[in-house]
Structure 1
Amino acid sequence: MRSFALLGVLCLFTMGSAGCGTTVGADAAAPRMRQVADAWKRTEAARAWREGYYPLEDAVRLPDGAFHNEADKLAYLHRNFTLRRALPGSTARHGHIRWTSGASLPATIMTARQAYETLDRGDDDGPGAGDAPLTVTEAVLGTTTLNTSRGPARVPAWLFTLDGYDTPLKRVAVAPSKPPRAPVRSLSEGTDSGSRLYGLRSVAEDGRSVTVGAAHGACDDGPTVDVLETRDSVVLSGGVRGVDDGPCTMQLLVDPVTVRLDRPLGGRLLLDAFTGAPVTMTG
């Protein structure tokens, strides 16, 4: 079992005034990590996970060369889009997710409007309200290849043509499968056996590292993530380093931490030791 420290800052949440938690080390986390790994062995939950669709990449694929300028980049970051013409009809469709192994899974395809609304979250009074929007000139249903917990898969996707770009923005048009119920109970807040993780951010192309969101406070030296690898699973446990026991503003900081693995993740379950559940993509 190994421990990995913070690689960069991601986001900031609530504020107040209080102390900022306790340091969690690998020794304290080890029994819980082993408990979670053992609990998932040869269970119905593990079987259900291996038969489902769980992406390991973001649902949006940007056009080639994105972005041409800072204005377009800001428009995307602020989810500021506009339509030049009406979207295709609103009837939901049925399709399939197809893996390179030959396996397939039926799926309901979201409408073009539903997919577009996941992109266009602009608020007339919110961030980016004054930015020039990205203009969608056409939307057609197609496919894209996405890495999943079962390997690469061809999945339905809406292809949105953006004004000024030669290739479309692709938005995956199917939702992930509902995660199975964990065969082990979640820990309670305040335990000395670790802290919850805040979603999967990315998996390296070679599968030898994963990046997850990990929490810490304002008066420590940042988060750590311990890892326990087994044949069937990779269990991660969040913690913090160098806690100051004095007065501290009460903040929750969530930072991306990259964990390097001894061998590729492959089809192994990626589990959160705190919740006992799989770590899934955020956003």
Structure 2
Amino acid sequence: MRRRAAWFTMTVLLAGCASTTPETPPGPGGPASGAVPAPGSAATLDRLRERARVVLANYDAALAKSKLVLVPGQESREVGALEPANEHLKQVIGAGRLRPAGELPGAPREKGEAVWPTGERVSLSVISAAEGLSRLAQGRDCAGCVPHTVTAARLTTMRVATSRGPATVPAWEYTLQGTKMRVLRTALDSGPTSVDPPAGNPDDIPDGNAPESFRVEGRRLILKLVGPAEGADKPCGEDYRPEAVEGENAVAVLVQRRPYSGPEPSTPSGTEWGCTLVGHERFATVTLTAPLNGRTVLEVQQGQPVPLSTL
């Protein structure tokens, strides 16, 4: 799961500095010891840049395993809603605890394709409906759950968010006993591969913000973020400075926080000053040294692909 700052994030339109990936080996992506650097400090920026290099190396490793890399959470999804009488099945289905009532279809063909709107295609092996069903539960905890019954399966397609934008892939659609809700799961074998997050303490992540999505305008990346309504010149506000660390296959985007640092506002006697944590849609711009040209955009907090916006 992507880790968020307490203030989700606000950004202003700043032309961030673009940098290329250094040739030195990446570090561990976190400090060895000591206090956490303050937001907006040089130490925080150094940690973010170091983590960006680790993220690029991890993405290269994932790409070497599979040509299809999904945005987290795209392998499966539920279609339709559970009826009120079936609400008790929510946890079971969400955890992929499903079992077939009988024999499920095998793979109807050896290969299937992931297809992008640009016409780009990647061919991968297709798995059987039974194998897809078994993979639904992998990595999901559901202590004490009693598996629910699958009555049928058919091969169809589903649209998924990948490291190179939205693509259409083969998928198994499972019909569930006693409910109109169905479950979709990608039917590709050797992919999709996910990107490993940087090693270390998952709670020890450099201060910053992960973009929600991005769009491309020439060499500029327009990053969509969520944060406070005001800039750093106002109490409770923050500014953000984006920067890109560029690699051959991907671009790691870091967004440094610059919070309000002025005096606390005056308040009526007997009351305390505080901020309301309400998120607002914001955009920030970073300019690359070269066009994106099919490279993947990664956030540095967890090292995962940032979805390409079609709007």
Given the two structures, how large is their TM-score scaled by the length of structure 2? 0.51
Matched-pair contact (CA < 8 Å) for 1:55–1:149? yes
Match for residue 272 of structure 1 among 281, 293, 300: 300
Q: 1-side partners of 2:214 and 2:77: how far apart?
A: 15
Matched-pair contact (CA < 8 Å) for 1:196–1:238? no
Q: 1-side partners of 2:297 and 2:105: how far apart?
A: 38
Match for residue 46 of structure 2 among 31, 35, 46: 31
- Aligned residue number for residue 95 of structure 1: 112
Residue by residue over 1:240-270, the C-alpha shift from the partner in whole angstroms, topping out at 9 and shown as x without a partner, is xxxxxxxxxxxxxxxxxx9965259996521
Equivalent pairs: percent with the same residue?
A: 25
Is residue 235 from structure 1 mapped to residue 253 from structure 2 by the alignment? yes
SS at match of 1:31: helix
Residue by residue over 1:33-59, the C-alpha shift from the partner in whole angstroms, topping out at 9 and shown as x without a partner, is 345668999xx959x69x932222421
Matched-pair contact (CA < 8 Å) for 1:115–1:171? yes
SS at match of 2:67: coil
Mapping 1:150-229, distance limit 5 Å = 150-166=164-180, 168-174=182-188, 175-177=191-193, 195=205, 203=212, 208-209=224-225, 228-229=242-243
Alpha carbons of structure 1 residues 32 and 143: separation in structure 2 relative to 1, 3 Å: same
Q: 2-side partners of 1:189 and 1:177: how far apart?
A: 21
Alpha carbons of structure 1 residues 63 and 89: separation in structure 2 relative to 1, 3 Å: same
- Aligned residue number for residue 13 of structure 2: none
Is residue 262 from structure 1 mapped to residue 284 from structure 2 by the alignment? yes
| Structure label with greater radius of gyration | 2
- Aligned residue number for residue 24 of structure 2: none
Matched-pair contact (CA < 8 Å) for 1:78–1:128? no
Q: 2-side partners of 1:92 and 1:22: how far apart?
A: 56
Match for residue 35 of structure 2 among 22, 42, 56: 22
Alpha carbons of structure 1 residues 23 and 144: separation in structure 2 relative to 1, 3 Å: same
In structure 2, the gaps of 5 or more residues are: 9-32, 216-222, 227-239, 258-279, 287-291, 307-311
Count how many residue pairs are aligned between Structure 1 and Structure 2: 213
Matched-pair contact (CA < 8 Å) for 1:60–1:169? yes
Is residue 5 from structure 1 mapped to residue 19 from structure 2 by the alignment? no
Q: 1-side partners of 2:114 and 2:122: how far apart?
A: 5
Alpha carbons of structure 1 residues 6 and 128: separation in structure 2 relative to 1, 3 Å: farther
Alpha carbons of structure 1 residues 105 and 121: separation in structure 2 relative to 1, 3 Å: closer
Q: Which amino acid aligns with 2:35?
A: T
Q: 2-side partners of 1:167 and 1:74: how far apart?
A: 13
Q: Which amino acid aligns with 1:270?
A: L
Q: 2-side partners of 1:90 and 1:103: how far apart?
A: 23
Q: 1-side partners of 2:139 and 2:148: how far apart?
A: 11
Given the two structures, how large is their TM-score scaled by the length of structure 1? 0.55
